[in-house]
Amino acid sequence: MADKHPVHHLGAKAQVLLTSVFGPYAQDDEYGSSVINPMELYHNQVTRVQGVFSLRMFHRSFGLLMIKENIEAPCTLLDFPDLERFIETISSNRYNIIGISSIIPNVNKVKKMCELIRAHQPHAIIVVGGHISNMEGIGDMIEADHIVRGDGIEWFRKYLGQDLTTPVKHPAVASAFGARILGQTLADRPGDTAAIVVPSVGCPLGCNFCSTSALFGGKGKFINFFESGEELFEVMADLEKKLKVTSFFILDENFLLHRKRALSLLEQMKQHKKSWALSVFSSAKVLRSYRMEQLVELGISWVWMGLEGKQSRYSKLEGIDTRSLVEELQGHGIRVLGSSIIGLEEHTPDTINQAIDYAVSHATDFHQFMLYTANHGTPLYAELKAKGTLLPPDECKVSDSHGQLRFNHRHPHIPAGEEETILVKAFAQDFKVNGPSLSRLIRTILKGWQRYQSHSDNRIRDRYLKDVSPLRHMYAGTVWAMKRWYRNDKVLHKQLADLLLDIYTTLGLQPRLVAPVVGRYIYWTMKKEEKRLATGWTLEPTTFFEKNHAALAKISDRSLVKPLSEPPIFQDLAANTFPNFSDRPILSASPSVAECGGPLPRGFSDDLHP
């Protein structure tokens, strides 16, 4: 018999605080944060060794935002506070419920936060969720009243006595903020950055290493927040109106797997003549189940795809020539972020170079490399625990088990301590052979325009026209600057010279005139950024302090509602609409972009953070 779900005695009258863990995040500290594991998905896991070309950006705590949007109780969201601001918040305001979302490496921060809550708000109920809820023995490590695993929206609705049949409301929030590249911080103007859309959570494919699949029930399990294409279209049309966007990052582990919903969305887009661009996660096998024409019509402009490894056993790759698939997608202007695993069971010191060569040969626009990691709650964790090969905490700190530093188990072939060297080699080889990811992305955009510039369907042509627009000025200058940067590297210099000539030939006089002017400025900012990075400079996200409708209704003077720092656009998008939004895992309404990904600018912005 299932345990009865707890219910708070105040119900919708309870005062709720939701918070992410405190920063700083890219500095070595006593709580487990480290320079090597910043709160930046791309710089951490994708463009790690690309220096001035590395894409820098942050993603909100989308799960917390989803929960905030869907509870009727007065709710405040504190996203990316430092320790001082967290203490200030809990010492100067009374809350009945305080929810913390975290990933496992930040367990010591969660422990500290629970201790502070007990000291400042001894009567508050502490709720902890996100990927940390999968951690073995977490209930004994932190002083929390409830550990929430799975769907945080449903859990909070039950806890607050709300109607569970109420449709899920989607927050209006951009997919990223604070983007920076080539020494330039990109503008956060409305419409520049894709909106985040969370149709589902969990993944029915259930790969043995996948934390997100494990968090929402494992293989065969998922939760749809929006069942039909019609429902999803309404959500996206609403976001288009509120955020002035035409591009969307679909935060769904395998969006195209839900074929009926995807094709129904396509019909709605055709009917309403929507020239939208969609960035999605998808497995290779599912991508191959669609005709390329369908993907283009659906507006698929960016795909995050697991390549894993040449000899990997995953069914999602069975029978698929991934190199051919990547080349075909790029030929249609679809940018590809490939994801490869370093340290699969079959990898040895003698074969690892072949594995890296295979990954690099895909020439994806971006490439994520991650160490094979047995995260708590996953089938891989259970398997290695049974074998006795998991490392104890005194040999591998929990805070170091994030996929970019160490194996948290004894690898059958690769000696301990060599894994990071191999991982960095993979990043470096991809960068050396294929060049900066930004140049690859520009090349793919150009290919899309060359193929579709004369397409008979204006809905399709208009999307590619918007994609190619920056190549006439900003991107042309960027390629000019990169060509100058690599003037002593014969291979990359020729690649970039050929790309620049292709831009001139395809787009005419404007880029030819603009590129040298813009390029000289960009080259100068690149040199400045190079010096800045050499000093060990790091980035930290802005702090957000937001309230939902119910919380705002209790404040007579709305001028009091202001962020702890000063994010102009992203602070509760509005004093008019007050949608509620949120990254690093959630109190588990959605996966963490920081853990599973999330793409890139248009104009230097929309493709660089979809």
| 296 & 254 share domain | yes
- Model confidence pLDDT, tens digit, residues 320-333: 899 999 999 999 99
Q: Would you state the pLDDT for residue 141?
A: 96
Token couple for 214: 């494990």
| 324 & 465 share domain | no
Written in H, E and C, the secondary structure of 481-531 is HHHHHCCCCHHHHHHHHHHHHHHHHHHCHHHHHHHHHHHHHHHHHHHHHHH
Q: Using CA atoms in the order 324, 326, 330, 332, what is the torsion angle rounded to 10 degrees?
A: 70
Helix (H, G, I), strand (E, B) or coil at 23: strand
User: Which class for 107: exposed (0-12), middle (13-18), buried (19 or more C-beta within 10 A)?
Assistant: buried
| 101 & 143 share domain | yes
Final residue belonging to a domain, choices 395, 424, 442: 442
Percent of the chain with pLDDT over 70: 90
| 308 & 403 share domain | yes
DSSP one-letter string for 378-394: SHHHHHHHHHT-BPPTT
Helix (H, G, I), strand (E, B) or coil at 591: coil
Cβ(131)–Cβ(585) below 8 Å: yes
Q: Which domain holds residue 409?
A: 177-442
| 16 & 76 share domain | yes
Cβ(366)–Cβ(44) below 8 Å: no
Q: Would you state the pLDDT for residue 373?
A: 96
Cβ(74)–Cβ(551) below 8 Å: yes
Q: Would you state the pLDDT for residue 1?
A: 38
Q: Would you state the pLDDT for residue 569?
A: 28
- Model confidence pLDDT, tens digit, residues 139-166: 999 999 999 999 999 999 999 999 999 9
Helix (H, G, I), strand (E, B) or coil at 279: strand
| 103 & 202 share domain | no
Token couple for 435: 């060049």
Q: Is residue 554 part of a domain?
A: yes
| 326 & 397 share domain | yes
Spell 296-309 as b/e; 16+ CB within 10 A means b.
Answer: bbbbbbbbbbbbbb
Q: Is residue 410 part of a domain?
A: yes
Domain of residue 132, CATH code: 3.40.50
Cβ(580)–Cβ(588) below 8 Å: no
| 93 & 149 share domain | yes
- Model confidence pLDDT, tens digit, residues 167-190: 999 999 999 999 999 999 988 788
| 408 & 378 share domain | yes
Cβ(211)–Cβ(378) below 8 Å: yes
Which element (helix H / strand E) includes 326?
helix 322-331
Helix (H, G, I), strand (E, B) or coil at 60: coil
Q: Is residue 486 part of a domain?
A: yes
Q: Is residue 2 part of a domain?
A: no
Cβ(228)–Cβ(261) below 8 Å: yes
User: Which class for 560: exposed (0-12), middle (13-18), buried (19 or more C-beta within 10 A)?
Assistant: exposed
| 218 & 363 share domain | yes
Spell 578-591 as b/e; 16+ CB within 10 A means b.
Answer: bbbbbbbbbbbbbb
Final residue belonging to a domain, choices 411, 442, 473: 442
Q: Which phi and psi (to 5°) does residue 221 adopt?
A: -115, 145
Half-sphere exposure of 545 (CA within 13 A, CB side): 15
| 216 & 350 share domain | yes
| 509 & 580 share domain | no
Q: Is residue 608 part of a domain?
A: no
Rounded Cα distance, 116 and 47, in Å:
36
Which element (helix H / strand E) includes 75?
strand 75-79
DSSP one-letter string for 131-156: GGGGSTTHHHHS--SEEE-S-HHHHH
Final residue belonging to a domain, choices 410, 442, 474: 442
Q: Which residues pair with 127 in a beta bridge?
A: 99, 146
Q: Is residue 113 part of a domain?
A: yes
Domain of residue 195, CATH code: 3.80.30.20
Distance of CA 574 to the CA centre of its chain: 24
Token couple for 98: 């305080």
Angle between helices 62-69 and 152-159 (to 10 degrees): 40
Q: Is residue 265 part of a domain?
A: yes
Domains held by the chain: number: 3
Rounded Cα distance, 465 and 474, in Å:
15
Percent of the chain with pLDDT over 90: 83
Stretches where the chain sits below pLDDT 50 are 1, 557, 559-610
Q: Is residue 137 part of a domain?
A: yes
